[in-house]
Each structure stands twice: as C-alpha cells, then as structure tokens.
Structure 1
Amino acid sequence: MLKYSLCIGAYPGEDVITHLEKVKEHGFHGLEYYDWTELDLKEVAKAQRRIGVGIIATCTRSFNLVNPEMRELYLSGLTETIDACKRLGTTSIITQTGNVMIDAPIKMQQDAMIETLKRSAALCEESGMVLEVEPLNGLVDHEGHFLQYSDQAVSIIDQVNSPHVKLLFDVYHQQITEGNVIRNATNYQNRIHHYHMADNPG
C-alpha cells in the first residue's frame, strides 16, 4: 500500500510543527524534511508524539558518492543522519550523488559510487533504514549531476544488491531527463522505495 507524505515548504513560511499538524489534518502518513540538522530533534520528537505523525524521510549530510576520496566523509555524515533518524523514528534517508568529476573516468566514478553504497547499505541494515538514491535532471536544475537516468540508477542499485539501497523516482526530474515516466516507474517498481510527485513545467 502506498503511503502519502507532505513535503516541507508546502506551506511557505510555516515551521516543521505546523507542517506536521497539516499532515495529520489531511490524513497523510508523514512529512518529508530535507535538512534534519536545522531541527531541534528533542522538540520535534516531542511534537511528533503529541500530533501522532512524524518525519518519514530526510536527506543525509553529504551528497558526494562519486569521489572515493570523499567516502569517509560521506559515511560519517550518513552515520550522523542514522542517529538523528533513530531519534525521530525516520526510516528513509535520501541521497543524491554529486556532480561528475570531469577529470576522472566515468567508470571509476560509478565504481566508487557502488562501493560507497555497499558500505552505506551495511550501516542502514544495522539500523533497519533504507537509503534512497535520487537521480536529478541536469537540463534545468542540476547541471553536471552524475546520476540522471533511471536505468543508470537501477543498474547501480542492482550491483549494490541490498534491500537497504533503493531508488527514489522523482517524476519531475525523470520527465525532464528521459520522459516515459509511466513505463519506467512500472518497469522499476520493485527497485523504487519512494516517489516524488511534482509538475513539469511549473
């Protein structure tokens, strides 16, 4: 069964508590909040208990998966994010990949990404969380982003081969990048853990 969440910013200018109250009011299942480091975790956890809904997904601290020299920094940030998620009861962690390194072979960058995700999978497995890898479009919003295509993302996820590393399929980004949204979302549904829904354009 699909569960539905609201994203922070749906009510511009309103804080996380108001968004959680709106989630409850609309009968949704949770809130997606981008940057957990902005939060007072103790106060948010208290509010979640009072309201009866919580943050269901947040982003990890670092987004560079393609540079092996950044691996330990990435894993350290992921460990911090996992600890924060434990305090909030959050089970999904979103990551992007960082930009292409123009002076390094693509295969080297992809291999580095797979190795970092394998090590990330082990951390997530220990905590019962899922790391969601999100392709972003390079045409409008994220020029140079390494991971843009859903088939490329699925190939990488399959090589990681862990139920704790899945695909975040963003309809907006994938419509810009490749189209065929319904076909791809259907073909890859067993790798997809999370959908983002937004209009393109607009």
Structure 2
Amino acid sequence: MALTRRQALRRLAGAAALTTMGAPLVLPARQRPPLKGRIRHSVCKWCYPNLSVEALAAAGVKMGLQSIELLDPPDWPRLRPYGLICAMGNGPSRITEGFNRLENHAWLVPQFKKRIEEAAEAGVPNLICFSGNRNGMDDEEGLENCVIGLKQILPTAEKYGVTICMELLNSKIDHPDYMCDRTEWGVRLVQRLGSERFKLLYDIYHMQIMEGDIIRTIQNSIEYIAHFHTAGVPGRHEIDDSQELYYPAIMRAIAATGFDGFVAQEFIPTADDPLESLRHAIAICDV
C-alpha cells in the first residue's frame, strides 16, 4: 500500500537524525553540477526525515537541486547558505480541511494572508493549499466555496507576487474523499478565479492513479499548472524502471511546453542510500 506523508513520518519517527555528518559544505550559490537546465529540480523534505534541512541541502546542491520544499517558515532561511530556495512553502490549510467548506474560511483567510507576506519576504514563490475532503458535499458546491474563500486571499497574493497552488491528490488510495482529485475540477477552479496567482500543483503520481493520460493532460493543461511532484506508481517509491511511469518522456513533454517552474521529487526512498535514489531521480528527470 502506498504511504502518505503522515504515515511515512510516523513510521520513521524515532529514527536517529543523521546530523553527525559534520559541518555542511557550503557551496557558492551557483556551483552545481552541469545539468541540461530544461528542468528546475526540487525535492520534498518530508521524504527524508532522517536528514536535517542542512544535510539534505548540502547533499542536494551537489546534485543540482535548486530547492528544498514543503517547509514551514522557520526553515526557509536555513536554505540560504546553500544558494537554495523553498520553491513550494507550506500553507496553513490541511489536506482534509481546506477551502471547500465556508466555515474554514474564518481561519484560513487570515492565516494565508500572513503566510503570503512571510513567503514574499523570504523569497518563497509558491504556497501549497488544499481543497479539503468532500464529507458528502457536492463537487459543484465545493468548487463555489473554494472560489469564495480563495478570492479573499488572492489580492494579497497578487500584491506580494506569491502564487497559491492547490494540489491535485488521489482519493483512491492515499487521501480518501479528497475533493480536488481530478485535473478537470482543478482547471475549472483556476478558470473561475482568473488570477495568475492561483494555479495547480500537478502531482504526477496522484494523477496517474486517478486518471492516467499524463502527458496529454499536462500538454492540454500546462497554462493552469505552476508546479509538479513526482513519485513511482505503484507504491510512491523510486521513479526508476521498477514502476509504470516513464519519467524521461514526461519530463521532455513538460520541457517542450516552455514550463519554467519546478519539478520536485516526492517519492519515498527504499534504497539503503536514499541520497543515491535522489541523485538517480534527478538524472532521470534531467532531459
């Protein structure tokens, strides 16, 4: 069974943090290995719970990473000595409790406005948000409720130049009952809002589970997408030839659209050396 972020963190809780690697080697901001440059590489920190932010940054910058993401505000400045940014910061919404319920707007709106200002000050270009679960709610009602709530924060996002990204997640395996589980629903939400500061976080792993047809969907929807996540299907592990997606072709399709955002690795490593898995994934996606 595929692991969710929460399950992986719980399973690995208590493992000794690998902070005995010595002082991190701080490289100049642009001293990275020669990559092709068509894909901007990021990684999700939660997949590496045994590594500190600094340890992951020190290793990642040598692989060509430009970002470590899904971090909270206190961690954002920790990337600066390595010349990295947090391409996708954590927002205050929760996967199961998001913008699709009007009663959540009372706390979501003020917290998001504050987080947007913090992101702008820290140079974080994107913040993640979630629709929330259906809990018996019709998808059209949920869409309208998301519009009502998000319209209250988008003027702040536009003022500060921070993009709010709703993540597409599967409701079949990992996040039962999650509402924003289809590209079509997410695209309609972006269209209804009509702001350059609201787009989708297209998670390739989740959308393969829900609808497949990955490359054509990306090509048809790229104007509504600001960010990508990866992982192998099935299992949410390495993106190598042990799983069903062929990531080189997917990355070539993304690059061919002229997309200039980030692609973040969000697989849960199974190898003895998780950093070697990350290095291999970056090489696979460097098309």
Q: Would you say same fold, with TM above 0.5?
A: yes
1:145-187 alpha-carbon deviations (Å, 9 max, x no partner): 0110001110111010000000111000000011111110111
- 1:88 to partner: Cα distance: 2.7
Partners of 2:161 and 2:42 in 1: CA distance: 20
- 1:26 to partner: Cα distance: 1.1
Query: Please, which runs of 5 or more residues in structure 1 have no aligned partner?
Result: none
Percent identity of paired positions between Structure 1 and Structure 2? 24
Q: Which residue of 1 aligns with 2:102?
A: 68
- 1:191 to partner: Cα distance: 1.0
Q: Which residue of 2 aligns with 1:20?
A: 57
Q: Give the SS at the match of 1:65.
A: coil
Is 1:98 the counterpart of 2:98? The answer is no
Q: Which amino acid aligns with 1:152?
A: W
Q: Which residue of 2 aligns with 1:33?
A: 70
More moved, 64-73 vs 18-27: 18-27
Q: Which amino acid aligns with 1:192?
A: I
Partners of 1:128 and 1:182 in 2: CA distance: 29
The number of residues matched between the two structures is 195
- Relative contact order, CA 8 A, sep 6+: which one is greater? 2
More moved, 135-144 vs 16-25: 16-25
Partners of 1:156 and 1:75 in 2: CA distance: 17
1:93-149 alpha-carbon deviations (Å, 9 max, x no partner): 0111110131x4443222111121222221211110000111211110000101100
Q: Which residue of 2 aligns with 1:155?
A: 188
Is 1:107 the counterpart of 2:140? The answer is yes
Partners of 2:41 and 2:231 in 1: CA distance: 14
Q: Of 95, 106, 111, which residue of structure 2 is paired with 1:77?
A: 111
- 1:81 to partner: Cα distance: 1.9
How does the TM-score come out when normalised to structure 1? 0.89
Q: What is the RMSD of the two structures over their aligned residues, measured on CA atoms?
A: 1.7
- 1:84 to partner: Cα distance: 3.0
Q: Which amino acid aligns with 2:219?
A: T
Q: Give the SS at the match of 2:40.
A: coil
Partners of 2:183 and 2:138 in 1: CA distance: 20
How does the TM-score come out when normalised to structure 2? 0.64
- 1:76 to partner: Cα distance: 1.7
Q: How does 1:46-195 map to 2 (within 5 A)?
A: 47-63=78-94, 64-102=98-136, 104-195=137-228
Partners of 2:171 and 2:228 in 1: CA distance: 19
Contact 2:139–2:179 (Cα < 8 Å) also in 1: no
Q: Which amino acid aligns with 2:183?
A: S
More moved, 153-162 vs 69-78: 69-78
1:45-80 alpha-carbon deviations (Å, 9 max, x no partner): 1x4332211212112112311111211211122123
Q: Give the SS at the match of 1:113.
A: helix
Query: Please, which runs of 5 or more residues in structure 2 have no aligned partner?
Result: 1-37, 236-287
- 1:83 to partner: Cα distance: 3.2
Partners of 2:193 and 2:53 in 1: CA distance: 34
Runs of 4+ more than 6 Å apart: none
Partners of 1:150 and 1:107 in 2: CA distance: 14
Contact 1:23–1:53 (Cα < 8 Å) also in 2: no
Contact 1:62–1:73 (Cα < 8 Å) also in 2: no
Contact 2:120–2:162 (Cα < 8 Å) also in 1: no
